Amino acid sequence: MAFQEIKNIQIKGIAACVPEHIENNRTSKVFEETIDADKFVETTGIEKRHTVNGEVICTSDLCLKAAETLIASLNWDKSEIDCLVFVTQTPDYILPATSCILQNRLGLSTECFAIDISLGCSGWVYGLSTIGSLLSSGNFKKGLLLVGDTVTVTKSNLDKSTYPLFGDAGTATALEFKEGADGLKIHTATDGKGFESIIIKDGGFRHFFNENSLKVEKQSDGAIRNNLQSYLNGQDVFIFGISKAPKSILGLIEKYNINKEEIDYLLLHQANFMMNDKIRKKVNIEENKVPYSLNEFGNTSSASIPLTLVTRLSNEMKSGNNKIMACGFGVGLSWGSAYFETENLCCPELIIY
């Protein structure tokens, strides 16, 4: 089992940024009838979503705003930031890596380690694990983890199995080397057997962009989309989520003897309410400890955990200590859980792009 304890680091702050445009699922044209829309909202809990809505706003733009705000709030000297980890599946370009562009746009030192990671819903947990490991030795002192997606760009507005679920967001998490700190306890897992459960078929190097890529067709699952838009097998992903996520959380609790009663908040990747509540019940943690942001922002891919923390818990985070369990699960298939304690976390108000 892939468990890790990463000591000597501390999460100092978290910020998030979303596009201004709001789409309301109850009035969305993707549903033929109001009753379908109402049922969708009732089951998934997703009422509204912030989306880029055709504007050229990249994940990096959202993350940049979040990072700038966070750096200023923390009073960090930019020249002291030694590493930047950018997690997204909606980068600026096929090449170069967006983290390089962000190093420059943020005005970080050229003596900065910068890397892109391609993961979705599990991305924040994996990002924490990666940047935590980079900082833990003390060679690097300060690091920025920028995580987000503009997934709505990849959804067909004729596909009601994906379109109304997703929103766009970018986040920034600041971490620091701190000798003696408890750091992170992490479980990570991968099952590539399910790689086709959530997939954009064309545009990579397996199926290069071609003359058919933009052809909008009714697909075998009944949804209408082209091959540059993402396919989601809701049933497979649902079963995956309700079986793997609770095991990951409970596995981490058992491995490190974490006292479940002492966990202040369980932050789940914001997939949909029905799925998340199943996971919560299996883990057996009280409802009031499991906040949701999906009602207002939808499923925001890798950004969903930090976005939930910023929009639902900022007051609780700002003063005092909190014990947090976070779990991300999805595209890959990839999943993982992270446990950590925060102390007077810097948590600026949500930024609207």
Taking the complex as a whole, how short is the minimal distance between the CB of residue 45 and another protein, in angstroms? 12
Q: Is 242 in the site for another protein (CB under 8 A)?
A: yes
Kindly state whether residue 234 participates in binding another protein, applying the rule CB under 8 A: yes
Q: Choose which of 78, 247, 278, 323 interacts with another protein (CB under 8 A).
A: 278
Counted residue by residue, the chain has a size of 353
Helix (H/G/I), strand (E/B), else coil: 13: strand
With contacts defined by CB under 8 A, name the span among 4-12, 79-87, 272-280, 333-341 that binds another protein. Answer: 272-280
Q: How far apart are CA 152 and CA 271, in angstroms?
A: 14
Between CA 15 and CA 308 the distance in angstroms is 10
Choose, from 58, 83, 121, 347, the residue flagged as catalytic. 121
Q: Does 239 contact another protein by CB under 8 A?
A: yes
The active-site residue, picked from 83, 187, 269, 276, is 269
The kind and range of the H/E element at 4 are: strand 2-6
CB of 215 to another protein, least distance (A): 24
- Residue labelled with tokens 């990249």: 58
- Residue 264's region, left for phi above 0, alpha for psi from -120 to 50, else beta, is alpha
Residue bearing tokens 């009601």: 160
Active site residue 327: no
Cβ-Cβ contacts under 8 Å for 291 (sequence gap 6 or more): 265, 267, 308, 309, 312, 313
Instruction: Tell me which of 243, 264, 273, 312 binds another protein, using CB under 8 A.
Output: 243
Query: Is 236 a binder of another protein (CB under 8 A)?
Result: yes
Find the largest Cα–Cα distance for the chain: 58
**Three-state DSSP class for 218?**
strand
Among 274, 319, 343, 349, binds another protein (CB under 8 A): 274
| Residue (144 or 198) nearer to another protein, CB | 198
| Rounded CA separation 299/121 (Å) | 9
Is residue 121 annotated as part of the catalytic site, yes or no? yes
Return the bridge partners of 174, or none. 13, 144
207 classed as catalytic: no
Question: According to CB under 8 A, which one of 26, 215, 281, 289 is a site residue for another protein?
Answer: 281
Output 4 or 233, the one with its CB closest to another protein: 233
Active site residue: 227, 299, 322, 347, which one? 299
39 interacts with another protein by CB under 8 A:
yes
Residue placing its CB nearer to another protein in the complex, 282 or 312: 282
Nearest-Å Rg of the Cα atoms of the chain is 19
**Which residues bind to another protein, rule: CB under 8 A?**
39-40, 43, 161, 233-236, 238-239, 242-243, 274-275, 278, 281
- Which residues participate in catalysis according to the annotation? 121, 269, 299
